Amino acid sequence: MSDERYVDAPPAGAEGWREVWREDRRYRGAGFVQSLLQNVFRRGLAPERDRQRDFNLATLDLIRELRAAIDDLRSDLRRDFEALQRDVRSADEGLARELGQLIPISARRNDALIAALDQKIETLAVRMRDAVNPVVASSPSSPARANDLTYRRLEDGLRGSAAEIRDAMRHYADLAVTHQPAIDLGCGRGEFLELCREAKIEALGFDTNERSVADLRKRGFEVALAGIPECFSSMAAGSIGSLLAAHVVEHLPVNDLFALFREAARVLRPGGLLMIETPNAESLLVSASEFWRDPTHLAPRHPAALTLLGREHGFDVVEARAVHPFPEGTRLPSGDPSTRAIVDLLNDRLFGAQDLRVVLRKV
């Protein structure tokens, strides 16, 4: 017989056994007697051997199929686990993004709540001071005093907190450091005077609201009860370093507006500054809506008019620009890049910054 019918050692692995059983390979006989016995019994045992071979081959096929099924299951589990890992990473990243967005929003909301609480406390303190401070000029029961108290409530409700106004006034206080003494026309709640006192700037305030004047005097500020142009009567020509008119010109009739520029040109020394802040007339949201929340406003003042009046009275324009933008959420979304230029133009016109800053220098 051919040597291919025999094996000398057990095969390795299931596939090796499959080959042995399919080809009916056997071990070599150990001698003549064993070979004789095998030949005698082979024919009688052949059917059982064939059944055993078929059973063994079927078992191996089942094992192979089971192994393939296990491999498929392992691959499916691996893919599912990888997908789960990706989902977990994606969820973690999404959660991190959400938290990254929510934390600043929460912080801003908390800041807003604290600011609102501070403003309420501040308003309550102002009302208490209004009730107990002595009257400056008129009698306690005069209509003028009642109107002054009403305007103080409007000022508290419409102009924002004292901290916000202090931030807005800081630019002018920085300019006033090298332009003293400083005069605050329409000093209101005194935020600019507070900054001047902290910076050791010589400053004097004027206001037509006697409750504001009484409050500021109680707090130790030098303040007089007078409006424009009467407040200039005590000032010598060329004696003042800077004049601030913050949210004043929109309250003035035209003749008083002209008088402001005329008197400023007289009392300011060469190089002195006339600093004006007023609602931004070039913003449609301001001039069509926000401006009219205050019933004492007469008219928005356009930057072209203010700079023209300044030049007519011998001033150079140092600065004329819109400041204090509205929150970003107020603006139209840019969207498609092809329309961005148009949207930006509309945003600048409709939702321009809230205030106009004009700084003029006397030549």
Local confidence band at 1 (pLDDT 50, 70, 90 cut-offs): very low
Residues 333-358, mean pLDDT to the nearest whole number: 84
The 10 Å CB-count burial string (b at 16+, else e) for 117-126 is eebeeebeeb
CA 298 to chain CA mean position, Å: 34
What 3-state DSSP class applies to 220? coil
Q: Which residue has the higher pLDDT, 295 or 15?
A: 295
Q: Please name the amino acid found at residue 356.
A: L
Tens digit of pLDDT for each residue in 210-257?
A: 888 998 999 999 999 999 999 999 999 999 999 999 999 999 999 999
Nearest CA to 273 among 180, 355, 142? 180
Question: CA-CA distance, 79 to 87, in Å (whole number)?
Answer: 12
The pLDDT of residue 226 is: 95
Tokens of 311: 């030049």
d(CA 151, CA 189): 12
Q: Which CATH class is domain 143-362?
A: alpha beta
pTM, 2 dp: 0.62
Alpha helices in 133-222 (DSSP H): 143-158, 162-176, 191-198, 210-218
Question: What are the two backbone dihedrals, phi and then psi, of residue 111, each rounded to the nearest 5 degrees?
Answer: -60, -40
For residues 136-164, give the mean pLDDT: 66
**Phi first, then psi: what are they for 220, rounded to 5°?**
95, 15
261 — pLDDT class (breaks 50, 70, 90): very high
Whole-number Å distance between alpha carbons of 100 and 206: 47
Maximal CA-CA distance, the chain: 146
Q: Are 23 and 57 in contact (CB under 8 A)?
A: no
- 77-122 pLDDT tens trace: 888 888 888 888 888 888 787 777 777 776 666 766 666 666 666 6
pLDDT in the model for residue 9: 66
Per-domain boundaries in the chain: 1-132, 143-362
Report pLDDT digits (tens) over 49-61. 666 666 776 777 7
Residue with tokens 């220098």: 361
Tell which wins on pLDDT, 155 or 250.
250
Any idea which of 158-167, 196-205, 349-358 has the lowest mean pLDDT? 158-167
User: Lowest-pLDDT range, 191-200, 234-243, 334-343?
Assistant: 334-343
Mean pLDDT of 267-287: 96
What pLDDT shows up at residue 339?
A: 79
